[in-house]
Chain A
Amino acid sequence: MFEARLVQGSLMKKFMEAIKDLVKEANWDCTGTGISLQAMDTSHVSLVSLLLRSDGFDPYRCDRNISLGINMESMAKIMKCASNDDVITIRSEDHPDNVTFVFESPNQEKVCDYEMKLMDIDSEHLGIPDTEYDAIISMPASEFQRICRDLSNIGDSVKITCNKDGVQFSAQGDTGIGKIALKQNAVIDKEDGQVSIELNDPVSLTFALRYLTFFTKATPLASTVTLSVSAKNPVAVEYRVDDIGYIRYYLAPKIEE
């Protein structure tokens, strides 16, 4: 059987919020390592990849590798039934037709049990090549969310330009142009609130704000976000989640015609 108990159940709620608008259905792959998911949005422009390591659960039991084919909207609805301080357990058989979510209140006076039907999903797994990125930008996750929100008022796309002076986000629309420049803070240690840039080569790329805005739904999961950019390549947007794993998004660039 498969059983994974997450004491900080609110994390599962947050992971769900971070993927449900991007992906309609996906397989949650459960192995001894943990729970992972890789899925593209329906237009094949972006991809989400997440890992919840087994050591983040207590206990974690996976007798046999299984894939749980899940409709995200249905799972998101069920996750909304869990309170923020509930302990969440995910459970299924070795050849499952259903998955069970159990929500226990901290004092264990209330236990909710939701059983959900699984789907057969033909997932195409993509190989993500190891890339030497031109620039790796770390910044407060809330700052990145703010930038995406603000520039969405100006245009559909954001141009990310990174050079020795820092990083600039700019958008252009019918009403005009918006530019947000961030300088690199002195990096002594990577505390929250700092912008740090690891620059190998100056780089400039354009991305659809609609998708970046979907990615920022992961903001409650992490204090810092990392953008890895390389000329003419997809951007990787990563949120590392303390003690359990990560959620990573990839977005194909817009290319000049």
Chain B
Amino acid sequence: SSKQSSLTSFFKKM
């Protein structure tokens, strides 16, 4: 099965 990743693990807060 696959798990939904979070966008915040790719794009960092500025």
Contact = CB atoms under 8 A, between A and B. Distances in A.
The answer to whether A binds B is yes
Interface of A: 40, 44-47, 124-129, 157, 206, 208, 233-234, 250-257
Nearest to B4: A254
Given A206-B2, A256-B2, A257-B2, A45 B10 contact: no
Contacts of A124: 13
A166 to B, nearest CB: 23
Contacts of B10: 129, 233-234, 252
Interface string B1-14: 11111111111111
B4 A252 contact: yes
B5 A44 contact: no
A45 B4 contact: yes
A47 B2 contact: no
13 contacts: A44-B7, A47-B7, A126-B7, A126-B13, A157-B2, A251-B7, A252-B7, A252-B9, A253-B5, A254-B3, A254-B5, A256-B1, A257-B2
Given A44-B8, A45-B7, A250-B7, A125 B2 contact: no
Closest 3 CB pairs of A and B: A126-B11, A254-B2, A252-B5
Contact of B5 (A40, A126, A157, A255): A255
A47 B5 contact: no
Nearest to A233: B10
B3 A40 contact: no
Nearest to B2: A254
A128 B2 contact: no
Contacts of A208: 4
A81 to B, nearest CB: 33
Nearest to B6: A44
Contacts of A233: 10
Contact of B11 (A127, A254, A255, A256): A127
Contacts of A46: 7
Nearest to B10: A234
A126 to B, nearest CB: 4
Contacts of B12: 126-127
Given A45-B5, A47-B7, 18 more contacts: A45-B7, A46-B7, A47-B11, A124-B13, A125-B14, A126-B11, A127-B12, A127-B14, A128-B11, A208-B4, A251-B7, A252-B6, A254-B3, A254-B5, A255-B2, A255-B5, A256-B1, A257-B3
A83 B4 CA distance: 39
